[in-house]
Structure 1
Protein backbone atom coordinates (compact mmCIF):
# COMPACT_ATOMS: atom_id res chain seq x y z
CA UNK A 1 0.00 0.00 0.00
CA UNK A 2 1.41 3.42 -0.91
CA UNK A 3 2.31 5.65 2.03
CA UNK A 4 1.47 9.35 1.95
CA UNK A 5 2.93 11.90 4.33
CA UNK A 6 0.49 14.79 4.40
CA UNK A 7 -1.15 17.57 6.40
CA UNK A 8 -4.92 18.10 6.09
CA UNK A 9 -4.68 21.90 5.91
CA UNK A 10 -2.11 21.72 3.10
CA UNK A 11 -3.72 22.47 -0.30
CA UNK A 12 -1.34 20.14 -2.19
CA UNK A 13 -1.97 17.38 0.33
CA UNK A 14 -5.72 17.71 -0.13
CA UNK A 15 -5.30 17.64 -3.89
CA UNK A 16 -3.45 14.32 -3.72
CA UNK A 17 -6.08 12.87 -1.39
CA UNK A 18 -8.83 13.92 -3.81
CA UNK A 19 -7.08 12.04 -6.60
CA UNK A 20 -6.65 8.92 -4.48
CA UNK A 21 -10.33 9.04 -3.58
CA UNK A 22 -11.34 9.52 -7.21
CA UNK A 23 -9.46 6.41 -8.35
CA UNK A 24 -10.46 4.34 -5.31
CA UNK A 25 -6.91 3.98 -4.00
CA UNK A 26 -6.30 3.25 -0.33
CA UNK A 27 -3.29 5.00 1.14
CA UNK A 28 -1.48 4.62 4.42
CA UNK A 29 -1.63 8.16 5.77
CA UNK A 30 1.00 9.68 8.04
CA UNK A 31 0.21 13.20 9.19
CA UNK A 32 3.10 15.61 9.70
CA UNK A 33 2.42 19.11 10.96
CA UNK A 34 4.77 21.59 9.25
CA UNK A 35 3.61 24.34 11.59
CA UNK A 36 5.30 22.59 14.50
CA UNK A 37 8.41 21.52 12.60
CA UNK A 38 7.50 17.87 12.09
CA UNK A 39 8.71 17.99 8.47
CA UNK A 40 12.08 19.35 9.55
CA UNK A 41 13.29 16.39 11.56
CA UNK A 42 16.44 14.49 10.53
CA UNK A 43 14.35 11.34 10.17
CA UNK A 44 12.04 12.89 7.60
CA UNK A 45 14.87 14.65 5.80
CA UNK A 46 16.59 11.31 5.40
CA UNK A 47 13.73 9.96 3.30
CA UNK A 48 12.74 13.30 1.74
CA UNK A 49 15.59 15.81 1.35
CA UNK A 50 13.09 18.48 0.26
CA UNK A 51 11.38 18.22 3.66
CA UNK A 52 8.02 18.96 2.05
CA UNK A 53 4.60 17.44 2.09
CA UNK A 54 2.84 15.73 0.48
CA UNK A 55 5.41 12.99 0.04
CA UNK A 56 4.65 9.55 -1.40
CA UNK A 57 6.45 6.25 -0.92
CA UNK A 58 5.32 3.41 -3.18
CA UNK A 59 7.62 0.39 -2.96
CA UNK A 60 11.00 1.71 -4.08
CA UNK A 61 9.61 5.00 -5.44
CA UNK A 62 9.88 8.12 -3.30
CA UNK A 63 8.32 11.19 -4.80
CA UNK A 64 7.51 14.70 -3.64
CA UNK A 65 5.64 17.58 -5.32
CA UNK A 66 1.87 17.13 -5.31
CA UNK A 67 1.24 17.45 -9.02
CA UNK A 68 3.84 14.83 -9.85
CA UNK A 69 2.27 12.55 -7.25
CA UNK A 70 -1.20 13.08 -8.68
CA UNK A 71 -0.14 12.18 -12.19
CA UNK A 72 1.75 9.13 -10.99
CA UNK A 73 -1.19 7.79 -8.99
CA UNK A 74 -3.54 7.98 -11.95
CA UNK A 75 -1.00 6.39 -14.32
CA UNK A 76 -0.15 3.63 -11.87
CA UNK A 77 -3.48 2.90 -10.22
CA UNK A 78 -6.27 4.53 -12.22
CA UNK A 79 -8.63 2.19 -14.03
CA UNK A 80 -8.65 4.56 -16.98
CA UNK A 81 -6.96 7.78 -18.03
CA UNK A 82 -9.95 10.09 -17.63
CA UNK A 83 -8.37 12.11 -14.83
CA UNK A 84 -5.01 12.34 -16.58
CA UNK A 85 -5.43 11.54 -20.28
CA UNK A 86 -2.67 9.75 -22.15
CA UNK A 87 -3.49 11.55 -25.38
CA UNK A 88 -0.52 13.86 -25.89
CA UNK A 89 -2.50 17.02 -26.63
CA UNK A 90 -5.07 16.42 -23.90
CA UNK A 91 -2.35 15.71 -21.34
CA UNK A 92 -0.44 18.81 -22.39
CA UNK A 93 -3.50 20.92 -21.60
CA UNK A 94 -3.91 19.29 -18.19
CA UNK A 95 -0.22 19.89 -17.48
CA UNK A 96 -0.53 23.53 -18.50
CA UNK A 97 -3.37 24.04 -16.01
CA UNK A 98 -1.34 22.28 -13.32
CA UNK A 99 1.64 24.54 -13.99
CA UNK A 100 -0.66 27.57 -13.97
CA UNK A 101 -1.82 26.54 -10.51
CA UNK A 102 1.71 25.96 -9.26
CA UNK A 103 3.44 28.98 -10.74
CA UNK A 104 0.62 31.52 -10.88
CA UNK A 105 -2.58 30.93 -8.94
CA UNK A 106 -1.31 29.05 -5.92
CA UNK A 107 1.86 31.12 -5.95
CA UNK A 108 -0.19 34.31 -5.66
CA UNK A 109 -2.29 32.85 -2.84
CA UNK A 110 0.92 31.94 -1.07
CA UNK A 111 2.42 35.39 -1.58
CA UNK A 112 -0.65 37.37 -0.54
CA UNK A 113 -2.24 35.29 2.21
CA UNK A 114 -0.10 32.43 3.43
CA UNK A 115 3.18 34.25 3.95
CA UNK A 116 1.40 36.76 6.19
CA UNK A 117 -0.37 33.93 8.01
CA UNK A 118 2.99 32.27 8.60
CA UNK A 119 4.49 35.61 9.60
CA UNK A 120 7.04 35.43 6.82
CA UNK A 121 6.06 38.99 5.89
CA UNK A 122 4.48 41.68 8.04
CA UNK A 123 1.56 42.87 5.90
CA UNK A 124 -0.51 42.11 2.83
CA UNK A 125 0.99 43.53 -0.36
CA UNK A 126 -1.43 45.37 -2.70
CA UNK A 127 0.72 44.39 -5.68
CA UNK A 128 0.39 40.73 -4.74
CA UNK A 129 -3.37 41.17 -4.46
CA UNK A 130 -3.40 42.57 -7.98
CA UNK A 131 -1.59 39.47 -9.20
CA UNK A 132 -4.01 37.30 -7.27
CA UNK A 133 -7.07 38.84 -8.90
CA UNK A 134 -5.43 38.68 -12.31
CA UNK A 135 -4.87 34.95 -11.86
CA UNK A 136 -8.44 34.40 -10.73
CA UNK A 137 -9.61 36.19 -13.87
CA UNK A 138 -7.38 33.98 -16.02
CA UNK A 139 -8.90 30.90 -14.47
CA UNK A 140 -12.36 32.36 -14.92
CA UNK A 141 -11.51 32.74 -18.61
CA UNK A 142 -10.29 29.14 -18.81
CA UNK A 143 -13.75 28.05 -17.70
CA UNK A 144 -15.68 30.10 -20.22
CA UNK A 145 -18.07 27.81 -22.06
CA UNK A 146 -16.90 24.60 -20.40
CA UNK A 147 -17.56 22.65 -17.21
CA UNK A 148 -13.99 21.99 -16.14
CA UNK A 149 -10.64 23.69 -16.63
CA UNK A 150 -9.64 21.59 -19.63
CA UNK A 151 -13.06 20.90 -21.12
CA UNK A 152 -16.06 18.79 -20.20
CA UNK A 153 -14.29 16.21 -18.04
CA UNK A 154 -12.93 16.37 -14.49
CA UNK A 155 -9.14 16.00 -14.39
CA UNK A 156 -6.37 16.21 -11.81
CA UNK A 157 -5.96 19.86 -12.79
CA UNK A 158 -9.40 20.61 -11.37
CA UNK A 159 -8.56 18.77 -8.16
CA UNK A 160 -5.34 20.71 -7.75
CA UNK A 161 -6.99 24.04 -8.47
CA UNK A 162 -9.96 23.46 -6.18
CA UNK A 163 -7.61 22.95 -3.24
CA UNK A 164 -5.97 26.28 -4.03
CA UNK A 165 -9.21 28.17 -4.68
CA UNK A 166 -10.86 27.04 -1.47
CA UNK A 167 -7.77 27.97 0.51
CA UNK A 168 -8.05 31.54 -0.77
CA UNK A 169 -11.74 31.50 0.12
CA UNK A 170 -10.92 30.38 3.67
CA UNK A 171 -8.81 33.52 3.96
CA UNK A 172 -11.79 35.57 2.78
CA UNK A 173 -11.38 35.82 -1.00
CA UNK A 174 -14.75 36.52 -2.63
CA UNK A 175 -15.77 34.75 -5.85
CA UNK A 176 -18.62 37.14 -6.61
CA UNK A 177 -16.86 38.61 -9.64
CA UNK A 178 -15.88 35.19 -11.00
CA UNK A 179 -19.11 33.46 -11.95
CA UNK A 180 -17.44 30.76 -14.00
CA UNK A 181 -15.31 29.77 -11.01
CA UNK A 182 -18.32 29.83 -8.68
CA UNK A 183 -20.28 27.56 -11.01
CA UNK A 184 -17.24 25.28 -11.43
CA UNK A 185 -16.80 25.03 -7.67
CA UNK A 186 -20.40 23.93 -7.22
CA UNK A 187 -19.80 21.33 -9.92
CA UNK A 188 -16.64 20.04 -8.23
CA UNK A 189 -18.43 19.73 -4.91
CA UNK A 190 -20.83 17.21 -6.41
CA UNK A 191 -18.55 15.47 -8.93
CA UNK A 192 -15.32 14.97 -6.97
CA UNK A 193 -15.54 11.82 -4.81
CA UNK A 194 -14.97 12.45 -1.12
CA UNK A 195 -14.97 16.22 -1.55
CA UNK A 196 -16.73 17.06 1.72
CA UNK A 197 -14.49 14.84 3.81
CA UNK A 198 -11.18 15.68 2.15
CA UNK A 199 -11.52 19.33 1.20
CA UNK A 200 -14.60 21.00 2.60
CA UNK A 201 -14.25 19.70 6.15
CA UNK A 202 -10.61 20.74 6.67
CA UNK A 203 -11.24 24.13 5.07
CA UNK A 204 -14.18 24.81 7.37
CA UNK A 205 -11.98 23.96 10.34
CA UNK A 206 -9.20 26.20 9.01
CA UNK A 207 -11.64 29.06 8.45
CA UNK A 208 -12.88 28.76 12.03
CA UNK A 209 -9.30 28.78 13.26
CA UNK A 210 -8.59 31.97 11.30
CA UNK A 211 -11.74 33.61 12.64
CA UNK A 212 -10.77 32.63 16.16
CA UNK A 213 -7.35 34.18 15.76
CA UNK A 214 -8.89 37.36 14.33
CA UNK A 215 -11.39 37.66 17.15
CA UNK A 216 -8.61 37.35 19.69
CA UNK A 217 -6.50 39.82 17.82
CA UNK A 218 -3.74 37.29 18.14
CA UNK A 219 -1.72 36.30 15.13
CA UNK A 220 1.28 35.29 17.16
CA UNK A 221 -0.27 31.94 17.94
CA UNK A 222 0.28 30.85 14.38
CA UNK A 223 3.90 31.84 14.28
CA UNK A 224 5.02 28.28 14.79
CA UNK A 225 3.16 27.51 11.83
CA UNK A 226 5.41 29.03 10.42
CA UNK A 227 7.35 27.79 8.82
CA UNK A 228 6.92 25.31 7.04
CA UNK A 229 6.04 25.53 5.11
CA UNK A 230 8.86 25.68 4.23
CA UNK A 231 6.79 23.60 3.09
CA UNK A 232 4.52 24.07 0.12
CA UNK A 233 6.91 25.72 1.23
CA UNK A 234 4.33 25.44 0.85
CA UNK A 235 5.99 23.69 -0.46
CA UNK A 236 5.87 23.28 -3.87
CA UNK A 237 4.19 23.83 -3.87
CA UNK A 238 4.99 26.48 -1.82
CA UNK A 239 2.46 25.28 -0.15
CA UNK A 240 3.62 22.70 -0.30
CA UNK A 241 4.93 24.93 1.96
CA UNK A 242 1.91 25.26 2.87
CA UNK A 243 3.45 22.78 2.36
CA UNK A 244 3.35 21.97 -0.81
Structure 2
Protein backbone atom coordinates (compact mmCIF):
# COMPACT_ATOMS: atom_id res chain seq x y z
CA UNK A 1 0.00 0.00 0.00
CA UNK A 2 1.37 3.44 -0.97
CA UNK A 3 2.13 5.84 1.87
CA UNK A 4 0.83 9.02 0.27
CA UNK A 5 2.00 11.20 3.17
CA UNK A 6 5.53 10.04 2.48
CA UNK A 7 5.08 10.38 -1.27
CA UNK A 8 4.34 14.11 -0.99
CA UNK A 9 6.81 14.83 1.83
CA UNK A 10 9.28 17.06 -0.01
CA UNK A 11 10.84 18.78 2.99
CA UNK A 12 11.36 15.47 4.80
CA UNK A 13 13.78 14.40 2.09
CA UNK A 14 15.63 17.71 1.73
CA UNK A 15 17.32 18.41 5.09
CA UNK A 16 18.09 22.02 4.19
CA UNK A 17 14.50 22.80 3.12
CA UNK A 18 13.77 25.22 5.97
CA UNK A 19 17.02 27.09 5.34
CA UNK A 20 16.19 27.39 1.64
CA UNK A 21 12.77 28.80 2.49
CA UNK A 22 14.26 31.35 4.88
CA UNK A 23 16.77 32.36 2.22
CA UNK A 24 13.95 32.93 -0.27
CA UNK A 25 12.22 35.32 2.11
CA UNK A 26 15.40 37.32 2.76
CA UNK A 27 16.34 37.47 -0.92
CA UNK A 28 12.82 38.51 -1.90
CA UNK A 29 12.76 41.36 0.62
CA UNK A 30 16.19 42.60 -0.48
CA UNK A 31 15.11 42.45 -4.12
CA UNK A 32 11.94 44.49 -3.54
CA UNK A 33 13.83 47.34 -1.89
CA UNK A 34 15.91 47.83 -5.04
CA UNK A 35 13.13 47.86 -7.63
CA UNK A 36 12.43 51.35 -9.02
CA UNK A 37 9.48 50.22 -11.15
CA UNK A 38 7.45 48.06 -8.77
CA UNK A 39 3.71 48.21 -8.08
CA UNK A 40 3.02 46.22 -4.93
CA UNK A 41 -0.28 44.76 -3.75
CA UNK A 42 -2.29 45.43 -6.89
CA UNK A 43 -5.78 44.04 -6.14
CA UNK A 44 -7.57 41.57 -8.40
CA UNK A 45 -10.25 40.40 -5.93
CA UNK A 46 -11.83 41.23 -2.58
CA UNK A 47 -9.71 38.93 -0.39
CA UNK A 48 -6.78 40.30 1.60
CA UNK A 49 -4.39 37.99 -0.25
CA UNK A 50 -5.94 38.51 -3.68
CA UNK A 51 -3.16 40.83 -4.76
CA UNK A 52 -0.19 40.66 -7.07
CA UNK A 53 3.16 42.42 -7.05
CA UNK A 54 4.11 43.80 -10.45
CA UNK A 55 7.77 44.32 -11.30
CA UNK A 56 8.46 46.33 -14.44
CA UNK A 57 11.62 46.50 -16.52
CA UNK A 58 13.12 49.77 -17.66
CA UNK A 59 11.32 50.75 -20.84
CA UNK A 60 8.28 49.21 -22.50
CA UNK A 61 7.77 45.57 -21.42
CA UNK A 62 7.93 42.88 -24.09
CA UNK A 63 5.04 41.21 -22.26
CA UNK A 64 4.34 39.89 -18.78
CA UNK A 65 5.27 36.68 -16.98
CA UNK A 66 2.75 35.57 -14.34
CA UNK A 67 4.34 33.58 -11.50
CA UNK A 68 2.17 31.49 -9.14
CA UNK A 69 3.84 30.29 -5.96
CA UNK A 70 3.66 26.93 -4.23
CA UNK A 71 3.16 25.79 -0.66
CA UNK A 72 0.60 23.01 -1.10
CA UNK A 73 -2.20 25.59 -1.44
CA UNK A 74 -2.02 26.40 2.29
CA UNK A 75 1.43 27.92 2.93
CA UNK A 76 3.67 30.82 1.94
CA UNK A 77 2.90 34.23 0.40
CA UNK A 78 3.70 36.21 -2.73
CA UNK A 79 6.28 38.28 -0.87
CA UNK A 80 8.50 35.17 -0.48
CA UNK A 81 9.21 35.00 -4.21
CA UNK A 82 9.91 38.52 -5.51
CA UNK A 83 13.51 37.83 -6.49
CA UNK A 84 12.45 35.12 -8.92
CA UNK A 85 11.44 38.00 -11.21
CA UNK A 86 15.06 38.85 -11.87
CA UNK A 87 15.76 36.61 -14.85
CA UNK A 88 12.69 37.80 -16.75
CA UNK A 89 13.21 41.49 -15.96
CA UNK A 90 16.69 41.27 -17.43
CA UNK A 91 15.08 40.12 -20.68
CA UNK A 92 12.73 43.12 -20.69
CA UNK A 93 9.61 41.31 -19.47
CA UNK A 94 7.33 42.51 -16.68
CA UNK A 95 6.62 39.99 -13.91
CA UNK A 96 3.49 39.61 -11.78
CA UNK A 97 3.95 37.57 -8.59
CA UNK A 98 0.45 36.44 -7.64
CA UNK A 99 -0.87 35.92 -4.14
CA UNK A 100 -4.06 34.05 -3.28
CA UNK A 101 -6.21 33.12 -0.30
CA UNK A 102 -4.97 29.90 1.26
CA UNK A 103 -6.69 26.73 2.42
CA UNK A 104 -8.52 26.03 4.66
CA UNK A 105 -10.11 29.48 4.29
CA UNK A 106 -10.98 28.54 0.71
CA UNK A 107 -11.09 25.34 -1.33
CA UNK A 108 -8.64 24.50 -4.10
CA UNK A 109 -11.41 24.99 -6.67
CA UNK A 110 -11.81 28.55 -5.38
CA UNK A 111 -8.06 29.14 -5.62
CA UNK A 112 -8.26 28.08 -9.27
CA UNK A 113 -10.87 30.74 -9.89
CA UNK A 114 -8.77 33.32 -8.04
CA UNK A 115 -5.77 32.65 -10.25
CA UNK A 116 -7.95 32.98 -13.34
CA UNK A 117 -9.12 36.37 -12.07
CA UNK A 118 -5.52 37.35 -11.37
CA UNK A 119 -4.41 36.45 -14.89
CA UNK A 120 -7.26 38.51 -16.31
CA UNK A 121 -6.31 41.53 -14.18
CA UNK A 122 -2.63 41.22 -15.05
CA UNK A 123 -3.57 41.11 -18.73
CA UNK A 124 -5.55 44.34 -18.34
CA UNK A 125 -2.65 46.00 -16.53
CA UNK A 126 0.19 45.12 -18.91
CA UNK A 127 -0.18 44.92 -22.67
CA UNK A 128 1.38 42.25 -24.83
CA UNK A 129 1.84 38.48 -24.62
CA UNK A 130 1.51 36.41 -21.46
CA UNK A 131 3.72 33.63 -20.14
CA UNK A 132 2.71 31.61 -17.07
CA UNK A 133 5.03 29.78 -14.68
CA UNK A 134 4.22 28.15 -11.35
CA UNK A 135 6.01 26.00 -8.80
CA UNK A 136 4.55 23.01 -6.93
CA UNK A 137 0.94 23.95 -6.08
CA UNK A 138 1.55 26.90 -8.39
CA UNK A 139 2.53 24.40 -11.06
CA UNK A 140 -0.87 22.80 -10.62
CA UNK A 141 -2.58 26.18 -10.80
CA UNK A 142 -0.92 27.28 -14.05
CA UNK A 143 -1.76 23.92 -15.61
CA UNK A 144 -5.38 24.46 -14.53
CA UNK A 145 -5.34 27.77 -16.42
CA UNK A 146 -4.63 25.69 -19.52
CA UNK A 147 -7.65 23.45 -19.08
CA UNK A 148 -10.50 24.26 -21.41
CA UNK A 149 -13.07 26.69 -20.04
CA UNK A 150 -10.96 28.29 -17.30
CA UNK A 151 -9.63 31.37 -19.10
CA UNK A 152 -11.51 33.29 -21.78
CA UNK A 153 -10.64 32.71 -25.43
CA UNK A 154 -9.18 36.21 -25.55
CA UNK A 155 -6.81 35.49 -22.69
CA UNK A 156 -5.81 32.09 -24.09
CA UNK A 157 -4.90 33.82 -27.35
CA UNK A 158 -2.40 35.98 -25.48
CA UNK A 159 -0.71 33.10 -23.63
CA UNK A 160 2.38 32.06 -25.59
CA UNK A 161 3.80 29.41 -23.24
CA UNK A 162 3.21 27.87 -19.81
CA UNK A 163 5.84 26.15 -17.66
CA UNK A 164 4.67 24.07 -14.72
CA UNK A 165 7.57 23.36 -12.37
CA UNK A 166 7.16 20.39 -10.02
CA UNK A 167 3.39 20.55 -10.32
CA UNK A 168 0.78 18.25 -8.76
CA UNK A 169 -1.61 17.40 -11.59
CA UNK A 170 -3.53 14.42 -10.19
CA UNK A 171 -5.01 15.50 -6.85
CA UNK A 172 -6.79 12.23 -6.08
CA UNK A 173 -3.95 10.78 -3.94
CA UNK A 174 -4.07 13.84 -1.68
CA UNK A 175 -7.51 12.84 -0.39
CA UNK A 176 -5.84 10.13 1.69
CA UNK A 177 -3.14 12.31 3.24
CA UNK A 178 -2.94 14.10 6.59
CA UNK A 179 -2.57 17.28 4.57
CA UNK A 180 -6.17 16.88 3.53
CA UNK A 181 -7.25 17.81 7.04
CA UNK A 182 -6.29 21.31 5.89
CA UNK A 183 -7.17 21.12 2.19
CA UNK A 184 -10.56 19.49 2.69
CA UNK A 185 -10.53 17.85 -0.72
CA UNK A 186 -13.44 15.59 -1.53
CA UNK A 187 -13.07 12.84 -4.12
CA UNK A 188 -15.29 14.82 -6.48
CA UNK A 189 -13.27 18.02 -6.12
CA UNK A 190 -9.96 16.19 -6.47
CA UNK A 191 -11.20 14.69 -9.71
CA UNK A 192 -12.53 18.02 -11.01
CA UNK A 193 -9.29 19.88 -10.16
CA UNK A 194 -6.87 17.28 -11.57
CA UNK A 195 -5.42 18.95 -14.66
CA UNK A 196 -4.04 15.66 -15.94
CA UNK A 197 -7.59 14.34 -16.34
CA UNK A 198 -9.01 17.40 -18.11
CA UNK A 199 -8.95 18.73 -21.67
CA UNK A 200 -6.02 21.03 -22.49
CA UNK A 201 -6.21 24.34 -24.30
CA UNK A 202 -4.19 24.94 -27.46
CA UNK A 203 -1.12 26.50 -25.82
CA UNK A 204 2.43 25.06 -25.60
CA UNK A 205 3.12 23.73 -22.11
CA UNK A 206 6.37 22.49 -20.58
CA UNK A 207 6.27 20.18 -17.57
CA UNK A 208 9.51 20.63 -15.63
CA UNK A 209 10.68 18.72 -12.57
CA UNK A 210 13.92 18.12 -10.71
CA UNK A 211 15.38 14.69 -11.40
CA UNK A 212 16.15 14.28 -7.67
CA UNK A 213 12.58 14.97 -6.52
CA UNK A 214 10.28 12.46 -4.86
CA UNK A 215 9.16 9.68 -7.22
CA UNK A 216 5.58 10.92 -6.98
CA UNK A 217 6.55 14.25 -8.53
CA UNK A 218 8.32 12.48 -11.38
CA UNK A 219 5.16 10.41 -11.88
CA UNK A 220 2.95 13.49 -11.80
CA UNK A 221 5.11 15.17 -14.45
CA UNK A 222 5.02 12.13 -16.71
CA UNK A 223 1.30 11.52 -16.18
CA UNK A 224 0.10 14.89 -17.42
CA UNK A 225 2.63 15.14 -20.24
CA UNK A 226 1.62 11.74 -21.59
CA UNK A 227 -2.09 12.37 -21.08
CA UNK A 228 -2.14 15.79 -22.69
CA UNK A 229 0.20 14.65 -25.45
CA UNK A 230 -2.23 11.88 -26.38
CA UNK A 231 -4.94 14.54 -26.60
CA UNK A 232 -2.91 16.47 -29.15
CA UNK A 233 -1.46 19.16 -26.89
CA UNK A 234 1.95 20.70 -27.60
CA UNK A 235 3.82 19.43 -24.54
CA UNK A 236 7.48 19.19 -23.55
CA UNK A 237 9.09 17.63 -20.48
CA UNK A 238 12.29 18.37 -18.61
CA UNK A 239 13.77 16.28 -15.79
CA UNK A 240 16.49 18.63 -14.59
CA UNK A 241 19.53 16.73 -13.30
CA UNK A 242 20.72 17.13 -9.69
CA UNK A 243 17.81 19.37 -8.64
CA UNK A 244 15.31 18.72 -5.85
CA UNK A 245 11.89 20.22 -5.17
CA UNK A 246 13.35 23.36 -3.61
CA UNK A 247 16.39 24.02 -5.77
CA UNK A 248 14.66 23.38 -9.09
CA UNK A 249 13.36 26.96 -9.38
CA UNK A 250 16.65 28.68 -8.60
CA UNK A 251 17.20 29.21 -12.29
CA UNK A 252 14.53 31.91 -12.35
CA UNK A 253 17.01 34.42 -10.93
CA UNK A 254 19.44 33.88 -13.82
CA UNK A 255 18.54 35.39 -17.18
CA UNK A 256 20.69 32.79 -18.95
CA UNK A 257 19.32 29.72 -17.17
CA UNK A 258 17.62 26.94 -19.08
CA UNK A 259 14.45 27.51 -17.05
CA UNK A 260 14.16 31.21 -17.90
CA UNK A 261 14.94 30.45 -21.54
CA UNK A 262 12.22 27.80 -21.58
CA UNK A 263 9.57 30.16 -20.18
CA UNK A 264 10.49 32.76 -22.79
CA UNK A 265 10.98 30.28 -25.66
TM-score, normalised by the number of residues in structure 1 = 0.31
Higher helix share: 1
Higher strand share: 2
Greater relative CO (CA pairs within 8 A, separation 6+) = 1
TM-score, normalised by the number of residues in structure 2 = 0.29
